[in-house]
A = this chain, B = another copy of it.
Amino acid sequence: MSVMEKLLILAPVGSVVALLFAGYLAYTVIKRYDEGPPEVVFIAEAIREGARAYIKRQYSGVALFFAVMAVILLFIAWKGYLTFFTPFAFLTGGFFSGLAGFIGMTMATNSSARTAMAARDSLNKALRVAFAGGAVMGMVVVGLGLLDLSIWYYALNYFYRHLDTATRIQNITSTMLTFGMGASAQALFARVGGGIFTKAADVGADLVGKVEANIPEDDPRNPAVIADNVGDNVGDVAGMGADLYESYVGSIVATAALAVAAGHGVPGVSVPMVMAAVGVLASIIGTFFVRSGENAEQGVLLAALRRGIFASAFMIAVVSFLLVWSALGLEQIGVYFSILAGLIAGVIIGLSTEYFTSGEYHPTRAVANSAITGHATVIISGIATGMISTAIPVVVVGAAVILSFFLSGGATNYNAGLYGVGIAAVGMLSTLGITLATDAYGPIADNAGGIAQMSNQKPIVRKRTDALDALGNTTAATGKGFAIGSAALTALALIAAYRDQLEIIIQRDNLHLLLDFSILNPKILVGLFLGAMLPFFFGSLTMKAVGRAAQKIVLEVRRQFKEIPGLIEGKARANYANAVEICTRAAQIEMIAPALTAILAPLVIGIFLGVEGVAGLLCGAVASGFVLAVMMANSGGTWDNAKKHIEDGAHGGKGSEPHKAAVTGDTVGDPFKDTSGPSLNILIKLMSMVSIVFAAFILHNALF
């Protein structure tokens, strides 16, 4: 057994450490901090209950879907197009992805009230509670990801022990690739369903509450206010967690699958998994760097969070050098620089997102300025800002691809280059433990603010939670940039793995096919066109879904205001559960069409245009989906913060005409940044996964 094979034990070890640390954090938060007086607990419990109800409903629907898919996969395996491990790998991928989202969400709903209460004492204390709550999510995602990977790797390694190394590795990685499909499918439902839920509640609550009834945000009289807070948890926490769980395991298995063709053998398979384990430990250490003084301004708070991420990134940069050196030798040290390229690209994308969406910088200020001339100009400038903000992430990811490809020796060994692209994705995602912590922190702070408002806390409490919330907006935006960038890089690695799998299958099944991947092959070209169109189509479906669901909430809120006597005067209690129930039902129905689109598109294209058409489809979807997702996320972010900038007193402040225009921008931005934009991440990854799993089926059954 080589050194690397021994080091591979770090993967399960990292997994266990991450899960233990998550347990420790959860224990401290829950035991050491109090949830406060009964009226606060009541609100927190209502949010928890709503989130649980939603998740329960969602998971039963998804379970049905998984059961059907498992049967289909079993049938296809029986036909000989897949190994019999595939359906089970698919199920575990879905299970762990869902579990990560569930635990993260449960923790988040248990942290918000405690954050609000801690804010009574000090800002630093509140930050620590919220961040610890978010860190649970980060640790659970990476911990469960590594756990799933480790179990399958060791199990398959044992099962295929009689095969020679190359075949064994090939069989292991081919099977492991397929559990990414389970994770993606789960993530799709979590992101799309959660995204529809959260924005239907948000938009619905705002449309009647703020605009018609003229009551402030988070006012307990608004029947949709609990649903709005539930939405933050099911969309931004559970959805985001499942999404990044998928990128995480997807990038690792894709890279591992590329190791064989690249000629890196077992060490090449081990590097991404050990890298991930190193990232877990670095993330844990990084969390200890997150602390701030009292009365800290937003800039200082942000610096505190950043310190944690940068510390982790630095540790990873150092340790992975030693890792690559010992695993692949000094002549392959270029692989290390590929990792570095991914790591740095992730950081730059985060900074670029911050520049375009934070109220501190020119772009968002300009959007706020354009609110002076009304609703239309604020929309135009927000979209224009979102559009131009796509340049840096695309150039950075492009540079990372080129650099990682050539640094890993792609000029002489094409497959080694593709392995480099994969390992760059792993490098970018190696900080996931802590990046996700800063990200999940956002909705916790947001909910804490809502709870403080609903339970009528002292102004200082609300002021502190507001500071945390404003910071949360920035980390949410950068987190989205990171999620999209890593999804694009992961999807590229998956596409490379797809091509690799095609060759393996063609050889294995003795198919006499000469695949033409030329970009001027009309099948590729048409696939590319269709792929470029799909994100727009998908985005439209999800936005329309939010619109329809929000409409239902509007009717329900109006009904309660009319039918519950004394509600508007604050004398009677609204029926929160009804609004939650309506959002839940709407989200469940509305996520069917987008989900089917993502799953069926590569199959239909495959049947009609063959695997070449599918390759074009994937490339087109990744390219245009990446750009559209960045645009939607950043437009939404800049509108949100332009509104906040005006609320902070610019251009007449709250209630002025510019503020109304800015609110329009923010409302348009809501489905952009929290539903359609993030859903595109999954669209591109899930389509790649479906293509890989069904590759043999398509190769044998394509019409042309």
Q: Which of A375-424 contact B (CB under 8 A)?
A: 375-377, 379-381, 383-388, 390-391, 394-395, 397-399, 401-402, 405-406, 410, 417-418, 421
Q: What is the minimal beta-carbon distance from A320 to any residue of chain B, in angstroms?
A: 22
For the complex, what is the distance from the CA of A397 to the CA of B528, rounded to whole Å? 12
For the complex, what is the distance from the CA of A503 to the CA of B163, rounded to whole Å? 46
Among A399, A495, A533, which residue has the most Cβ atoms of chain B within 10 A?
A533
For the complex, what is the distance from the CA of A623 to the CA of B664, rounded to whole Å? 31
When distances are taken between beta carbons in the complex, the residues of chain B under 8 Å from A592 are none
CB < 8 Å: which of B375, B386, B388 contacts A664? B375
**Contact of A615 with B by CB under 8 A:** yes
Known: A390-B536, A517-B519. A384 touches B529 (CB 8 A): no
**Contact of A452 with B by CB under 8 A:** no
**Contact of A525 with B by CB under 8 A:** yes
For the complex, what is the distance from the CA of A671 to the CA of B627, rounded to whole Å? 20
For the complex, what is the distance from the CA of A374 to the CA of B537, rounded to whole Å? 24
Q: Which of A538-566 contact B (CB under 8 A)?
A: 539-541, 543-544, 546-547, 550-551, 554
A397's nearest neighbour on chain B, judged by CB, is B529
When distances are taken between beta carbons in the complex, the residues of chain B under 8 Å from A537 are 387-388, 390-391
For the complex, what is the distance from the CA of A520 to the CA of B518, rounded to whole Å? 9
For the complex, what is the distance from the CA of A478 to the CA of B537, rounded to whole Å? 20
**Contact of A624 with B by CB under 8 A:** yes
For the complex, what is the distance from the CA of A381 to the CA of B386, rounded to whole Å? 18
**Contact of A526 with B by CB under 8 A:** yes
A667's nearest neighbour on chain B, judged by CB, is B376
For the complex, what is the distance from the CA of A550 to the CA of B492, rounded to whole Å? 41
**Contact of A616 with B by CB under 8 A:** yes
Among A390, A541, A551, which residue has the most Cβ atoms of chain B within 10 A?
A390
- Once the chains bind, are A554 and B379 in contact (CB under 8 Å)? no
**Contact of A582 with B by CB under 8 A:** no
- Once the chains bind, are B388 and A519 in contact (CB under 8 Å)? no
Interface string of A457-496 (1 = CB under 8 A from B): 0000000000000000000000000000000100010011
Copies in the complex: 2
When distances are taken between beta carbons in the complex, the residues of chain B under 8 Å from A554 are 373
CB < 8 Å: which of B375, B376, B623 contacts A623? B623
- Once the chains bind, are B522 and A417 in contact (CB under 8 Å)? yes
Q: Which of A599-634 contact B (CB under 8 A)?
A: 609, 615-616, 619-620, 623-624, 626-627, 631
Known: A376-B668, A410-B522, A543-B380. A623 touches B398 (CB 8 A): no
- Once the chains bind, are A532 and B375 in contact (CB under 8 Å)? no
**Contact of A207 with B by CB under 8 A:** yes
**Contact of A523 with B by CB under 8 A:** yes
When distances are taken between beta carbons in the complex, the residues of chain B under 8 Å from A551 are 373
- Once the chains bind, are A533 and B373 in contact (CB under 8 Å)? no
**Contact of A118 with B by CB under 8 A:** no
Q: What is the minimal beta-carbon distance from A497 to any residue of chain B, in angstroms?
A: 11
Known: A373-B207, A623-B532. A381 touches B544 (CB 8 A): yes
- Once the chains bind, are B388 and A541 in contact (CB under 8 Å)? yes
**Contact of A370 with B by CB under 8 A:** yes
For the complex, what is the distance from the CA of A197 to the CA of B384, rounded to whole Å? 18
For the complex, what is the distance from the CA of A370 to the CA of B550, rounded to whole Å? 12
Q: What is the minimal beta-carbon distance from A493 to any residue of chain B, in angstroms?
A: 11
Q: What is the minimal beta-carbon distance from A476 to any residue of chain B, in angstroms?
A: 20
When distances are taken between beta carbons in the complex, the residues of chain B under 8 Å from A671 are 380
**Contact of A524 with B by CB under 8 A:** yes
When distances are taken between beta carbons in the complex, the residues of chain B under 8 Å from A388 are 536-537, 540-541, 544
- Once the chains bind, are A540 and B384 in contact (CB under 8 Å)? yes
For the complex, what is the distance from the CA of A95 to the CA of B54, rounded to whole Å? 65
**Contact of A296 with B by CB under 8 A:** no
**Contact of A499 with B by CB under 8 A:** yes
A410's nearest neighbour on chain B, judged by CB, is B522
**Contact of A211 with B by CB under 8 A:** yes
For the complex, what is the distance from the CA of A218 to the CA of B531, rounded to whole Å? 43
For the complex, what is the distance from the CA of A225 to the CA of B624, rounded to whole Å? 39
For the complex, what is the distance from the CA of A664 to the CA of B667, rounded to whole Å? 14
- Once the chains bind, are B530 and A398 in contact (CB under 8 Å)? yes
Known: A376-B668, A380-B543, A381-B544. A402 touches B523 (CB 8 A): yes
CB < 8 Å: which of B373, B539, B663 contacts A387? B539
CB < 8 Å: which of B211, B390, B401, B624 contacts A627? B624
Q: What is the minimal beta-carbon distance from A18 to any residue of chain B, in angstroms?
A: 33
For the complex, what is the distance from the CA of A522 to the CA of B533, rounded to whole Å? 22
CB < 8 Å: which of B211, B402, B499, B540 contacts A374? B211
- Once the chains bind, are A526 and B664 in contact (CB under 8 Å)? no
- Once the chains bind, are B522 and A387 in contact (CB under 8 Å)? no
- Once the chains bind, are B518 and A495 in contact (CB under 8 Å)? no
Q: What is the minimal beta-carbon distance from A121 to any residue of chain B, in angstroms?
A: 38
A515's nearest neighbour on chain B, judged by CB, is B518
When distances are taken between beta carbons in the complex, the residues of chain B under 8 Å from A544 are 381, 384, 388
- The 4 A-B pairs at the shortest CB distance, nearest first, are namely A376-B667, A387-B540, A532-B623, A388-B540
24 contacts between A and B (CB under 8 A): A370-B547, A373-B554, A375-B664, A376-B663, A376-B664, A376-B667, A377-B547, A381-B543, A381-B547, A384-B539, A387-B540, A390-B533, A394-B532, A398-B530, A402-B609, A406-B522, A495-B520, A517-B519, A519-B519, A519-B524, A525-B619, A532-B627, A624-B627, A664-B664
Q: Given A399-B526, A519-B619, A623-B623, 16 more contacts at CB 8 Å?
A: A377-B547, A377-B550, A379-B664, A384-B540, A384-B543, A390-B537, A391-B537, A394-B532, A401-B526, A418-B520, A517-B519, A518-B519, A520-B615, A525-B619, A528-B619, A532-B532
